[in-house]
Amino acid sequence: MSALHFDSPVERRAVEPVLAALTILLAAAIVNESRLLFESVLELIWIPATILVPGLLACSVLVGVLAHGLRLGSALFGPGDRIRPGDMAVTRILASVVLGALAAYTLWWVVASLFVHYLVAVGGVSPVIWPPLFGGVLGALVLGRVVFFRLFPEGPLARLSGSAVE
């Protein structure tokens, strides 16, 4: 097994918050219209970064959502030995659906931006602004999900019902 092989979800869970923070910073730079980014040497890496970072975040979120869906499917139609604590919580299922939809939409904008910016000679405004903006929203939700599920690993209702039983 090589060092770059992301087989376990631990590495993806460590990279995802970093990508989320970078995407939020990119979105903030676009909203602030920073001169440093648009009138310096960083201009050369600005467009690829605004496309690549939200795309990587969206791909990582989609991989996590698909893995969660496979674990749920395994629990419903198979032996259920792949299920983790908290996978059946309503909050985790809802988070997967919302984040999956937003990640797919962000990835769609990433692909559209790549297509328009690098493959088609089109005049007008480049759609490169949209991936960081939707990715910034996705990044904020990913960071919120990380904090929420650190506080409530098995869902908030499990903690409430556990304290009531004790």
Tokens of 133: 């903006």
* Alpha helix positions (H), 6-155: 9-32, 35-38, 43-77, 90-114, 130-151
Mean of all residue pLDDT scores within the chain:
81
Asked whether the whole model's pTM tops 0.85, one would answer: no
Whole-number pLDDT of residue 5: 46
Assess contact for 117 and 51: CB atoms under 8 A. yes
Q: Domain locations in the chain? A: 13-154
Range from 16-30, 95-109, 143-157 that averages highest in pLDDT:
95-109
For 32-60, what is each residue's pLDDT tens digit? 876 666 666 666 777 788 889 999 999 99
Assess contact for 135 and 89: CB atoms under 8 A. no
For 86-96, what is each residue's pLDDT tens digit? 778 888 889 99
Give the whole-angstrom CA distance, residue 24 versus residue 63: 20
